[in-house]
Chain A
Amino acid sequence: MAGEPLLKIQGVETYYGNIRALSGVDVEVNKGEIVSLIGANGAGKSTLMMTICGSPQARSGQVIFDGEDITKLPTHIIARRRIAQSPEGRRIFPRMTVFENLQMGANLDNLKYFKEDVEKIFVMFPRLKERQSQRGGTLSGGEQQMLSIGRALMSRPKLLLLDEPSLGLAPLIVKGIFEAIKMLNKEEGLTVFLVEQNAFAALKLSDRAYVMVNGKVTMSGSGKELLSNPEVRAAYLEGGRH
């Protein structure tokens, strides 16, 4: 990969009050890559995701996106730089319909590309089309995850952040969602940064991956390398492959 990475995280430290959650994290995501971040509960994966989005902001270090330092920008401005997030716990709007949820995603362009984009989402997730006039809160977990990803995509992002897309979902649905992510990456050239506990699926999908332990990146490499790495296997795959 030539040139600057799309997202560059340099020596980021994030605190919750006085508790240090991230201590000097360096991560790079190049354009067109799928990069995943794996690690145990409480390793700081989601915190890193939130730090990219500016909530909480990093106390030291830098988050550089597309050549611009976004470390201290407020969350909604960061989102307007076309970093879309499908947050942990999905966070769809429960009383609004599927259709309205997708509309909310297209707010940045004031619905300019809404019609064509929503058709694309409906092709990718036909379930959402079926359920478009249903309220978000009435969807099943998998459908909510699809909606969350679909909503994030509606803003035409340069970078898609996915926080635990497989959380609480049946293996078959996880497979479908991961296939959709792969397709987006291959066909649309979308850059994806993925946080996952389901290390096996995530590593298989990713071009590169980082392993996080106690707020530090301890290992990195291509997805394949890490999959065959005995340490990673012992810690995250053998015991953790559900």
Chain B
Amino acid sequence: MSPVTEKGETSLMAKAIREGIFAAIISFFMFLLFVGVETYQDINNALVWRMRWGLLFIFVAIAAIGRFLTVAFIKPHLDARKLSKAKSGILEISTQKSFFHRHFLKIALVFLLVYPFLMMLIVGKQGSLKYVDNFGIQILIYVMLAWGLNIVVGLAGLLDLGYVAFYAVGAYSYALLSSYLGLSFWILLPLSGIFAALWGIMLGFPVLRLRGDYLAIVTLAFGEIIRLVLINWTEVTKGTFGISGIAKASVFGIWSFDVGAPNNFAKVFGLASSSVYYKVFLFYVILALCLLTAYVTIRLRRMPIGRAWEALREDEIACRSLGINTVTTKLTAFATGAMFGGFAGSFFAARQGFVSPESFVFLESAVILAIVVLGGMGSLTGIAIAAVVMVGGTELLRDMSFLKIIFGPDFTPELYRMLLFGLAMVIVMLFKPRGFVGAREPTAFLKERKAVSGSFTKEGHG
């Protein structure tokens, strides 16, 4: 090795050590109060605090070592790879995609269809409950919500921070109408969607003139208004107690999942009674709802209204000068997005059997929006992946008992859910600023798709 590179290497090491120490100092002060101080109640119920130096040290050490490794090894390695690629002239995106890549959607669909049975086979009937319910259904609800919000934010470009309001409208529509009027799930599902869509239009009217930050603030307020109404209108909504004992969904009224009912699903088929059938049924219902959302979104994108949404996101003035009525375009976007939120809401109520305003806090809106942004605005596949990572990831945290070995027996990973959520977002946004699937798929072509299309080049302004 020549002396020049040797010198380069020692300076790189020095730099890495310097940056590692720097990272340690920053993280020490950052985590000092967050992690270093623990408050608890003593025997006299007084609030006291103590320092957790050990845990704090682990955090600082991870930051310092991580930074050191990044600067010393990972970054030079990546740079060298990039350079050699640029030298050899191989395009990053090869035109020949792998089998998995090309048939990704089909594979994913087949996997989802067999998922509940697969889980039953692997972990048994009772064990599969967790995977079908906590993972499967939970993730699919968020996929559906995110796809619904995607119409408003991703396609029409209207930043909506109060999307959870429509979810709440759907959930309470089902909860109230089924407990007061005794209507069934299959009647209330479309009704909830319609109610939510109406609320979407009601929100849409006053905010027609607003865009960007201003729109975001008003929609945020709207979400809070709905939640506060639900809390305070105690005669109808029972306030913070919520509504419990909501009727379960049935298989189109043919088979019921109520234990006492004569047409109980398990009884009819002579199966051992178990709650797993209901969960599997719900899994397929939400899967069907998701597919409906995806189908409608894909179809709409190819229709004039969908094109108008996307054009509206790009340039409102140009839209008007092309004869597009921006008022109806915005309202339909709000209404359509809200409708899917309403569907998801009524499904949520049927699944939980209990709704309370606590399920519809701003954090939910933020999570749904984060999924849309992480996935890549407008991309259904990207959003689904983001939902799996974000929702599935936070569910997985409950199982991460091995973290206790590192952080000590008192460590409860669930409490760090949001911290990790934020960390994950920062990392994704650093490396993929346009989300997992950032490139927009065009909806129309004159002839064959070309190998090198606009999606491979960076966007410019001029």
Contacts and interface: CB of A to CB of B under 8 A. Distances in A.
Contacts of A110: 304
Interface stretch (B17-25, B52-60, B107-115, B306-314): B306-314
A104 B311 contact: yes
B454 A135 contact: yes
B189 to A, nearest CB: 32
Interface residues of A, number: 41
B460 to A, nearest CB: 5
Given A96-B310, A100-B443, A144-B462, A135 B321 contact: no
B86 interface: no
A137 B461 contact: yes
Nearest to B459: A137
B70 to A, nearest CB: 33
B182 interface: no
A141 B460 CA distance: 10
A53 B454 contact: no
Interface stretch (A36-44, A59-67, A75-83): A75-83
A151 B369 CA distance: 33
Interface stretch (B31-39, B137-145, B322-330): B322-330
Given A75-B320, A107-B323, A133-B454, A95 B440 contact: yes
B318 A91 contact: yes
A76 B324 contact: yes
B458 interface: yes
Given A75-B321, A105-B322, A155-B323, A93 B445 contact: no
A91 B317 contact: yes
Contacts, number: 117
A138 B307 contact: no
Among A92, A138, A139, chain B packs the most CB atoms within 10 A around the CB of A138
B379 to A, nearest CB: 12
A157 to B, nearest CB: 10
A183 B320 CA distance: 27
B462 A141 contact: yes
A94 B442 contact: no
B446 interface: yes
A197 B458 CA distance: 32
A60 to B, nearest CB: 23
A139 B462 contact: yes
Contacts of B98: none
Nearest first, the 8 closest Cβ-Cβ pairs linking A and B are A135-B454, A79-B323, A134-B454, A93-B314, A91-B318, A75-B320, A137-B459, A133-B453
B244 interface: no
A85 B315 CA distance: 14
Contacts of A77: 323
Contacts of B313: 95
B372 to A, nearest CB: 16
A107 B329 CA distance: 13
Contacts of A228: none
Interface in B91-108: none
B457 interface: yes
Interface string A86-126: 01000111111101100111011011000000100000000
